[in-house]
Amino acid sequence: MKRIVTIQDISCVGKCSLTVALPIISAMGVETAVIPTAVLSTHTAFKNFTFCDLTKEIEPIAAHWEQEKIGFDAIYTGYLGSFEQLNLVREFIQHFRTEKNLVFIDPVMADNGKLYAGFTQEFADCMAQLCGQADVIVPNLSEAAFMLHRPYLEKGYTEADIRQMLKDLTTLGTKTAILTGITLEEGKLGVMGYDSVSGSYFSYFSEYLPVSFHGTGDVFASSLVGALTIGKSMQEALEIAVDYTVESIRKTMKDPNANWYGVNFEEALPALIKRLNP
Ligand code: PXL
């Protein structure tokens, strides 16, 4: 069985980060090891959340795994809360990367042109450096704008803008950059990517749904890294991850009791599992 390690916070309520990554990657048939970087009562879109930092656990956990010779088919990082965590994660990647495994970084920091609570431009610059260590990065347009020091365009982007941003993102050092939340045509929303090794662009679009929910980036990233780890091609993995994310949003829209803070990704899991095991 393949094994992923994911490094991000656990927001006890909120359907994001580890409470999304663990069930999704496990359901895809991949062992999911975790390093929880912090425990929060909820994600940071709630008011008055608690925050217990676990930075000091990262190095001892990594040292124990090294002693036990535990390795990973993919290293997947999400929300990281401090400069020190970025440094420790960089060291973790240097220790645990191999010629074969996949380093997948979701630079979770921003949405709708705004940094999440507690983040700064300086943090975005350090996250950009960490992205230089990756094989694949999956920023949304806001995160890419902060990492590249470009304005966030409320009115949208042309295909040429997106292609340029993707190329610029790979100059940070990552092999492949994937931008999420792209609209080039009315009624369609999707992702576009650039593979700097082959010099090729790729994309996948689905129906645009006129809603916005927390945690959809984590649902997309978790299902994408899961699909890549079980050996799907990049194009196939993108289609699986976009379709699964859209289905999670559709299930949420149909649920009269849906929560405001996350999507009903659980109800879309059976179809995802069926797709992977036809
Ligand atoms: O979904 C990304 C995310 C992860 N973790 C925490 C967050 C957020 C987004 O707001 O606050 C703690």
pLDDT in tens, the chain (278 residues): 999 999 999 999 999 999 999 999 999 999 999 999 999 999 999 999 999 999 999 999 999 999 999 999 999 999 999 999 999 999 999 999 999 999 999 999 999 999 998 999 999 999 999 999 999 999 999 999 999 999 999 889 999 999 999 999 999 999 999 999 999 999 999 999 999 999 999 999 999 998 999 999 999 999 999 999 999 999 999 999 999 999 999 999 999 999 999 999 999 999 999 999 99
Q: Specify the ligand 1 atom closest to the Cα of 38.
A: 12
Question: How many angstroms separate the Cα of 173 from the Cα of each of 10, 145, 170, 215?
Answer: 28, 16, 5, 27
3-state SS assignment for residue 160: helix
- Kindly state if the Cβ of 106 falls inside 6 Å of ligand 1: no
Please answer whether residues 264 and 215 qualify as being in contact, where contact means their C-beta atoms are separated by less than 8 angstroms.
no
- Kindly state if the Cβ of 218 falls inside 6 Å of ligand 1: yes
C-alpha Rg value of the chain to the nearest Å: 17
Alpha-carbon span 225 to 100, nearest angstrom = 14
CA 38–ligand 1 middle distance (angstroms): 11
CA 67–ligand 1 middle distance (angstroms): 32
For the whole prediction, is pTM greater than 0.85? yes
Residue 117 sits at φ, ψ, to 5 deg, of -50, 130
CA 22–ligand 1 middle distance (angstroms): 15
Please answer whether residues 40 and 11 qualify as being in contact, where contact means their C-beta atoms are separated by less than 8 angstroms.
yes
The partner residues of 188 in beta bridges, in order of sequence, read 207
